[in-house]
Amino acid sequence: ETGVTQTPRHLVMGMTNKKSLKCEQHLGHNAMYWYKQSAKKPLELMFVYSLEERVENNSVPSRFSPECPNSSHLFLHLHTLQPEDSALYLCASSQDRRGRAEQYFGPGTRLTVT
Amino acid sequence: KNQVEQSPQSLIILEGKNCTLQCNYTVSPFSNLRWYKQDTGRGPVSLTIMTFSENTKSNGRYTATLDADTKQSSLHITASQLSDSASYICVVSGDAGNMLTFGGGTRLMVKP
């Protein structure tokens, strides 16, 4: 295991539902990330948190709302999603935001929007 | 625009055979290049990382090469095993502060 856990592993939700994805890292890292992985597309960076402060938001729709209450936990709150939001959502952490710092990924949450 | 292109998109080989996966990038300035292995339904796991000055690095049966002049990297898998079936992702970092640029991955299937 990489030291990054995600729950739930699978989630099916309707377009009017509200749900949250949870990520926890046990590595003492200072940076955490949310990625979206759609079929046959490269990983897309969604949000970056460094020392609990959001430092990057890659033009993600407002129906995705991140929250980082402390350096070990990261949430992704979901509401009024669209079917095209169905994907694997990966959380990662790294010691810091420098490019050389290796990112450790969680197992992902497979999200299906019906 | 920073890009990472991988080939082939998918590959099927027989158990015990060798294979080579390719990665071409246009990320500049260059900091480092990583190869990740992603099993189905799991997150990516790092195999190797190489900086500008390194042109080869091994991790067991995995050997990565880097040609910073031509901006190409390869991942060679020796004596493939069924457990090597996965997606292999090439990831390039632009500089100390840049985020990563991901390739689309090569899906490898090893058959008995």
| Range 32-51 of B in CB contact (< 8 A) with A | 32, 34, 36, 41-46, 49, 51
Mark yes or no for CB contact A97/B97 under 8 Å. yes
Q: What is the pLDDT of residue B16?
A: 97
Identify which of B31, B43, B99 has the shortest CB distance to residue A105.
B43
> Is the CB of B105 less than 8 angstroms away from the CB of A98?
no
The number of C-beta contacts closer than 8 angstroms across A and B is 57
For residue A40, the cross-strand partners are none
pLDDT at residue A3, rounded to an integer: 93
Question: Tens digits of per-residue pLDDT, A3-31?
Answer: 999 999 999 998 888 999 999 999 999 99
CB crowding B73-104: b at 16 or more within 10 Å, else e = bbbebeebeeebbbbbbbbbbbeeebbbbbbb
Confidence at residue B98, expressed as pLDDT on a 0 to 100 scale: 57
Phi, psi dihedral angles at A83 (to 5 degrees): -55, -30
Nearest CA in chain A to B42: A107
- Whole-Å CA distances, B101 to A74, B4, B50, B81, B98: 22, 7, 15, 29, 9
| Token reading at A74 | 């990261």
The two structure tokens encoding residue A85: 């939001």
Greatest mean pLDDT among B48-57, B73-82, B87-96 lies in B73-82
Phi, psi of A33 (to 5 degrees): -140, 150
Cβ neighbours, 10 Å, residue B64 = 24
What's residue B36's pLDDT? 96
Assess B94–A contact: CB distance below 8 Å, yes or no: yes
Kindly report the number of other CB atoms within 10 A of residue A107's CB atom. 19
Beta carbons of B46 and B57 less than 8 angstroms apart = no
What does the pLDDT look like over A69-114, one tens digit per residue?
998 999 999 999 999 999 999 999 999 877 678 899 999 999 999 9
Contact A107 B45 (CB under 8 A): no
What tens digit of pLDDT does each residue of B3-22 get? 899 999 999 999 999 999 99
CA distance A67 to chain B (A): 20
Question: What pLDDT does B97 receive?
Answer: 54
Q: Does B102 touch chain A (CB under 8 A)?
A: yes
Nearest to A99 among B42, B93, B105 (CB): B93
Confidence of residue B105 (pLDDT cuts 50, 70, 90): very high
Report residue B52's pLDDT band, with 50, 70 and 90 as the boundaries. confident
B102 pLDDT band (50/70/90 cuts)? Answer: very high
